[in-house]
Structure 1
């Protein structure tokens, strides 16, 4: 159990939840999945154990992903999931409720922000603050956002891609689109159905994306065996899929992200645009690890594009680093709720 007055940062993602504890670093990284007994409403497992049940549960058990497109789609299940992770990292018996900073996509509404705060407080959090994902991602990627220079960040998570130009600690121009890792998986499922009459599940699609998925042509095509259900015979079937097919499958969501980056650059003030041109664009989040995505964006924009080191943890790290300035945040625009 951690000491009194624990301060924690939570990256509440569509695909996974990361928890950062001040003085400890990232202490938890688990999938945002909850398995529930439909008859009793009881939570059976949360995180990695629940993820194993996706698409494999009997009738009375349902594995739910309570966040969709970066926002809460199932309030009660999100609250139960948060409670589980807070208890797991801070201990179930606490004298003082932990101060929590939690990050949200840049495009969320006031109602969606309120839902995140309420769920966190109900789950056992104390004073709760919100930070926008691009700011947290930029801080976690090691960018100095306090200076009057333009920094461009592209954070591609599971549910949303957040593109923002940051200067003097604030967002100057931003766009949040609901195209990210989950849409990559959906595009692969759709392609396999159309091109091969093969029905595959989310986990298989994710494996294809991670192993052979690509956003620009690979120097040497690679292949992977894929198993699913033949839609014509209804029987299990095994086929070999190539990275060239994945390039075709992912074209639509990748182009949507590329168009969003282009539209943010079009609205960027010229002084900041010249800074970005000199410094380059930084990519964070699990979706940024899609092979060749940075090269494809570099080709489209003409600006050097880099994937941050430890891209998946950048938002959680940045949220945690913001804990150092929690006294400033208490007076700032961050939403909070007192108990």
Structure 2
């Protein structure tokens, strides 16, 4: 699973009896899992919401509020430049180029980080709700581990500004963004393939 590979990629010893919570926010899905003793405790939570849904929400918001049509690549760029999951210390603006849906000609509009946060609030809320549900279902014996260790964010979605703060505010737990979150799963998969014997339990 992606959370397991992500955990290994981050450098967590997945064989130990201490629980670690991983949230992997990818393009198409977000997965939440508690990992201990080479396995996933209590099953992973997977929802079909990730960065792609946020991009789509930005496209719809600009259509509805500005009659502006932009493509997926522009939407992703907007998300990474001024998107956020929680209020910023200093809100920012961006000039966005697209096509006017009424006049069918190119136009530029100025959009703020506050607006983009509102645009992507539904996908963000869905991922937050899934996290809270996972915490509710967590066995009590691993809850204290998560209190100590906190939650680790991996995947491209971890790069969204304020995602860690949003989860911290909602859960009162420490939340850490993995170093180079985009490559955690790939690095973890590589480690598994290099050490198939020691990760046998993880695979089967």
Q: Using structure 2 for the length normalisation, give the TM-score.
A: 0.95
How far apart, CA to CA, are the structure 1 residues paired with 2:3 and 2:86? 25
Tell me what 1:239 maps to: 109
The corresponding residue for 2:30 is 161
Q: Deviations over 1:105-126 (max 9, x none)?
A: xxxxxxxxxxxxxxxxxxxxxx
Q: CA deviation at 1:195?
A: 1.2
Q: CA deviation at 1:334?
A: 3.9
Deviations 1:265-299 (A, max 9, x none): 11100110111011110001111110001100110
Superposition pairs for residues 102-113 of structure 1, below 5 Å? none
Match of 1:229 in 2: 99
Superposed displacement of residue 144, structure 1: 1.5
Q: Provide the C-alpha distance between the structure 1 equivalents of 2:127 and 2:51, rounded to a whole number of angstroms.
A: 11
The aligned counterpart of 1:326 is: 196
Structure 1 residue runs of 4+, over 6 Å off?
A: none
8 Å CA contact 2:39, 2:202 repeated in 1: no
> Can you give the 5+ residue segments of structure 1 that lack an aligned partner in the other structure?
1-131
SS at match of 1:297: helix
Q: 1:307 aligns with which of 177, 180, 188?
A: 177
Partner of 1:175: helix, strand, or coil? strand
- Specify whether residues 178 and 238 from structure 1 end up closer, same or farther in structure 2 by C-alpha distance, changes over 3 A only: same
Higher RCO (CA-CA < 8 Å; seq separation 6+): 2
* Higher strand proportion (structure 1 or 2): 1
Q: Is the 8 A contact 2:23 2:152 kept in 1?
A: yes
Aligned length: 203
Q: 2:8 aligns with which of 108, 115, 139?
A: 139
In structure 2, distance between residues paired with 1:186 and 1:277: 34
Alpha-carbon deviations, 1:29-66, whole Å to 9, x = none? xxxxxxxxxxxxxxxxxxxxxxxxxxxxxxxxxxxxxx
1:175 corresponding residue in structure 2: 45
CA distance, structure 2, for counterparts of residue 264 and residue 211 of structure 1: 30
1:87-126 superposed matches below 5 A: none
What is the CA RMSD across the aligned residues, in angstroms?
1.4
Q: Which protein is bigger by CA-based radius of gyration?
A: 1
Partner of 2:131: 261
Name the SS for the 1:165 alignment partner: strand
Who is 1:206 aligned against? 76
Alignment check: 8 A CA contact 2:38 2:201 kept: no
1:58-110 CA-to-partner distances (Å, cap 9, x unmatched) read: xxxxxxxxxxxxxxxxxxxxxxxxxxxxxxxxxxxxxxxxxxxxxxxxxxxxx
Match for residue 284 of structure 1? 154
Is the alpha carbon distance of 1:145 and 1:156 closer, same or farther for their aligned partners in structure 2, counting shifts above 3 Å?
A: same
1:142-177 per-residue CA deviation (whole Å, 9 max, x = no partner) reads 112111111000011111111001110100131011
